[in-house]
Amino acid sequence: MPLAAALRPIKFRPVPRLLDHIGLAMYSNFNKAIAELVVNGYDADATEVAVEITANQIVIRDNGTGMSEDDIRNSYMMLGSDQKRNVKRTPRFNRLPIGNKGIGKLTGLGIARRISVTTTKGVRSLGYEIDRDELQKSKTIEDSRHELLVVSESAKQSGTVIVLSKIMPHVRIDAPQLRGYLAREIPQDHNFHITVNGEKCLRKDIPAKRRIPVRLTDPVCGSVTGEVVVAKKVLTNVQPGILTTVRGRVVGEPSLFDLNSGPHKYHYGFLLTGQIEVPSFDPEDEVDLIPVIATDREGFNRNHPKYRVYHKLMTDLLIKICREEERKLSQNARKKSKLRFRRRSKELQMISMLSVKPRSRSRKRTGRTHRECNRLTWERKKSA
């Protein structure tokens, strides 16, 4: 193009409303929005994230690494950066970072119009705010300025506190539901706990399709009590299986026992969770020559007669529950197809009732009544 002349280069100019689109559109589920902020604590090697919900604010507090001034400028304030992808494992707990899109912090804007952050790394605490109404006053996101303040120079505990305020009127957050959601979605172990209003997010909070109380007594392994839960959705971050406790303390990993060791595979196993207490496994129990619980509390002495009986009891119970669920599923499918059939036959009946029998051609042409036609036909037959 011979006439080409270079003008000032053009650039994208994101307007503040774009943040709403990201915050609202991607996280219309409020529980998921809060989960994103909790996950940031997990990624920052926190051992605890506490969520507090009050009438006019939501606080997410973690004891992770916190952020320095440089972290805030070059990580937090970057939108859409994938820098976490470069972090293969977190330095303290060797965790695989969950975040990777660089927009998780914006989920706060799907819930509230103000995000206040106080973060501590080393001895320095810094604070800043992102206020949606202030942001609105700037033409573009880049034009907006947020004050960064030194809150303290003698802080003792690293971590980050995020306060969501000016909560939007349509937002409803139910603490027990949020607990269940977080328990199902975010990995928790002995190094990482989440609480909502002071209560830990546990397996028992996972939304259940069915809760089956367990009250069994066996001559060999004694009382076996607790609950088996059939979760509403497939357990993603929680390992499916039943936790066995002794004196309320969990022993070993969640287990599905021998549910799937036979030829039939029970897919409902992926929905099973729960907790069972077996007091007779207590290592203090002098009756046992060999303890049922392995010395490191990591598992059981699997050949112990008490454990073997318990294992069989639980396998049978889980198989029974899965079979019931499978039966319900096929019953529902049958009911649905019956309903469909009934609806279809009703429709056909209606159609046949509505469709008017066409009048005979001759009657139509002559305009005779039925009786007249019949009489004429009878007379014709008689004379023939």
Alpha-carbon torsion 130, 136, 137, 143, what sign?
positive
Residue of 19, 34, 35, 44 that binds ligand ATP (CB under 6 A)? 44
Which among 7-15, 93-101, 132-140, 363-371 is the span making contact with ligand ATP, rule CB under 6 A? 93-101
- Nearer to ligand ATP among residue 42 and residue 310 (C-beta): 42
Place of tokens 């669920």: 325
- The verdict on 23 binding ligand ATP (CB under 6 A) reads no
- The verdict on 127 binding ligand ATP (CB under 6 A) reads no
- Nearer to ligand ATP among residue 117 and residue 319 (C-beta): 117
Which among 38-46, 213-221, 250-258, 302-310 is the span making contact with ligand ATP, rule CB under 6 A? 38-46
Q: Which of residues 236-275 bind ligand ATP (CB under 6 A)?
A: none
Residue type, 292: V
- Nearer to Mg ion among residue 99 and residue 254 (C-beta): 99
Q: How far is residue 56's CA from residue 37's CA, in Å, rounded to a whole number?
A: 18
Question: Quick one: which of 226, 223, 221, 218 has its CA closest to 202?
Answer: 226
Q: Are 241 and 253 in contact (CB under 8 A)?
A: yes
Q: How far is residue 161's CA from residue 144's CA, in Å, rounded to a whole number?
A: 23
Pick what 103 binds: Mg ion, ligand ATP, none; C-beta below 5 to 8 Å, kind-dependent: ligand ATP
Q: How far is residue 217's CA from residue 219's CA, in Å, rounded to a whole number?
A: 7
Sheet bearing 193-196, strands edge to edge: 149-152, 124-131, 112-121, 159-167, 57-62, 48-53, 193-196, 199-200
Structure tokens that stand for 78 in this block: 């970057």
- The verdict on 76 binding ligand ATP (CB under 6 A) reads yes
- Nearer to Mg ion among residue 28 and residue 54 (C-beta): 28
Contacts of 333 (CB under 8 A, 6+ apart): none
- The verdict on 40 binding Mg ion (CB under 5 A) reads yes
Pick what 311 binds: ligand ATP, Mg ion, none; C-beta below 5 to 8 Å, kind-dependent: none
- Nearer to Mg ion among residue 83 and residue 138 (C-beta): 83
Q: Which of residues 275-304 bind ligand ATP (CB under 6 A)?
A: none
- Nearer to ligand ATP among residue 122 and residue 262 (C-beta): 122
- Nearer to ligand ATP among residue 77 and residue 173 (C-beta): 77
Structure tokens that stand for 83 in this block: 């820098």
- The verdict on 84 binding ligand ATP (CB under 6 A) reads yes
Query: What character string, x for contact with Mg ion (CB under 5 A) and - otherwise, covers 338-377?
Result: ----------------------------------------
Query: What character string, x for contact with ligand ATP (CB under 6 A) and - otherwise, covers 134-163?
Result: --------------------------x---
Question: Quick one: which of 259, 275, 278 has its CA closest to 220?
Answer: 278
Question: Quick one: which of 72, 68, 74, 66 has its CA closest to 44?
Answer: 66
Q: How far is residue 54's CA from residue 36's CA, in Å, rounded to a whole number?
A: 19
Which among 98-106, 135-143, 196-204, 245-253 is the span making contact with ligand ATP, rule CB under 6 A? 98-106
Query: What character string, x for contact with Mg ion (CB under 5 A) and - otherwise, covers 75-104?
Result: ------------------------x----x
232 three-state secondary structure: coil
Q: Angle CA(226)–CA(208)–CA(205) in degrees, nearest 5?
A: 70
CB of 85 to ligand ATP, least distance (A): 9
Sheet bearing 241-246, strands edge to edge: 208-218, 222-231, 272-277, 241-246, 249-255
Residue type, 220: V
- The verdict on 27 binding ligand ATP (CB under 6 A) reads no
Q: Which of residues 101-120 bind ligand ATP (CB under 6 A)?
A: 101-105
- Nearer to ligand ATP among residue 66 and residue 254 (C-beta): 66
57 three-state secondary structure: strand
- Nearer to Mg ion among residue 108 and residue 254 (C-beta): 108
Number of C-beta neighbours around residue 104 at 10 A: 21
Contacts of 295 (CB under 8 A, 6+ apart): none
Residues that bind ligand ATP (CB under 6 A): 36, 40-41, 43-44, 62, 64-67, 71, 75-76, 83-84, 99-105, 160
